[in-house]
């Protein structure tokens, strides 16, 4: 079906489409607001989400050279204090190239649609290498094999190759110059890292073209529900799809991925994103 003009594919929407096409249709195309919890207990989940946001913001301030050390972590915020101490001790920034862009957004046209990604930090040594770092605050360390299958691990390096020339002295980055690192705040000495490749780049482009072609030609109402009903307990649309009423336990959801800041559809105002050279 035709996609909205302002629509952009992000790692979240791509993952939704791969996990459950019906959820993608409800969330991004029909924009159905459904009053259900994603997981329980909701207060604990929300508190953890806010702690993660504060951790990301604190790192952003640190990279920007702001006096974060003069802003002590509240004693009641034990998780943030622990994450911050782990960050200072592990010093994951020390091995990165000196040119760094925290909370940086890239977007690019691809197969008739927009791709977009917001990176926790991009670090580039022009002509040599580029490193993508993503901060993870989940309570459990997601297995590397699962991480590498997810669309975040595929879209982020692909989009950097497509649209990162302006960060690399005007020259396009080669796939094998790109490395991705997941740094886990509760597992500071167990990062997950790997180097992208030309084979990865071609594979991911091919997979994207298949998804986009399918999205643009699939008739309304013909987006099937997932066959993995276990995932439905963590979906806000489970009662709408007659897949249950009660939300699943949040601790079990953490095995897959940490809570997301928002389940709202992504609509990008490209006028608010820095110009990208191609």
pLDDT at 131: 99
User: What residue ranges do the domains of the chain occupy?
Assistant: 8-261
Residues of 164-174 as b/e, b for ≥16 C-beta within 10 angstroms? bbebbeeeebe
**Which are the contacts of 239, defined by CB distance < 8 A and separation ≥ 6?**
34, 36, 245
Whole-number Å distance between alpha carbons of 16 and 231? 11
**Rg (the chain; Cα; Å):** 19
Taking residues 180-201, report their average pLDDT.
97
Sign, Cα dihedral of 9, 197, 128, 135:
positive
Whole-number Å distance between alpha carbons of 255 and 146? 10
- Domain 8-261 maps to which CATH number in 3.90.1170.50, 1.10.150.240, 3.40.190.10, 3.90.320.10? 3.90.320.10
pLDDT digits over 51-103, tens only? 899 999 999 999 988 988 778 888 778 999 999 999 999 999 999 999 999 99
**What is the pLDDT confidence band of residue 6, given thresholds at 50, 70 and 90?**
confident
């Amino acid at each position: 079906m035709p996609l909205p003009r302002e629509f952009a594919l992000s790692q979240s929407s791509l993952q939704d489409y791969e996990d459950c096409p019906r959820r993608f249709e409800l969330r991004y195309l029909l924009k159905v607001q459904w009053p259900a919890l994603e997981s329980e207990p909701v207060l604990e989940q929300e508190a953890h989400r806010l702690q993660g946001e504060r951790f990301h913001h604190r790192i952003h301030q640190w990279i920007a050279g702001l006096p974060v050390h003069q802003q002590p972590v509240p004693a009641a915020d034990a998780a943030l204090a622990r994450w911050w101490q782990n960050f200072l001790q592990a010093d994951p920034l020390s091995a990165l190239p000196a040119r760094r862009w925290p909370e940086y957004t890239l977007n690019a046209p691809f197969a008739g649609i927009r791709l977009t990604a917001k990176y926790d930090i991009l670090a580039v040594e022009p002509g040599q290498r580029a490193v993508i770092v993503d901060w993870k605050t989940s309570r459990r360390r997601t297995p590397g094999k699962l991480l590498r299958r997810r669309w975040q691990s595929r879209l982020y390096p692909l989009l950097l190759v497509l649209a990162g020339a302006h960060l690399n002295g005007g020259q396009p980055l080669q796939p094998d110059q790109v490395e991705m690192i997941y740094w886990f705040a509760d597992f500071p000495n167990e990062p997950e890292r790997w180097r992208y490749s030309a084979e990865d780049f071609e594979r991911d482009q091919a997979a994207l073209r298949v998804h986009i072609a399918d999205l643009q030609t699939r008739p309304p109402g013909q987006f099937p529900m997932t066959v993995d009903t276990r995932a439905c307990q963590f979906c806000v649309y489970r009662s709408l799809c007659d897949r249950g009423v009660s939300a699943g336990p949040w601790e079990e959801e953490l095995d897959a991925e940490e809570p997301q800041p928002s389940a709202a559809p992504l609509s990008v105002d490209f006028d608010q994103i820095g110009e990208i050279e191609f």
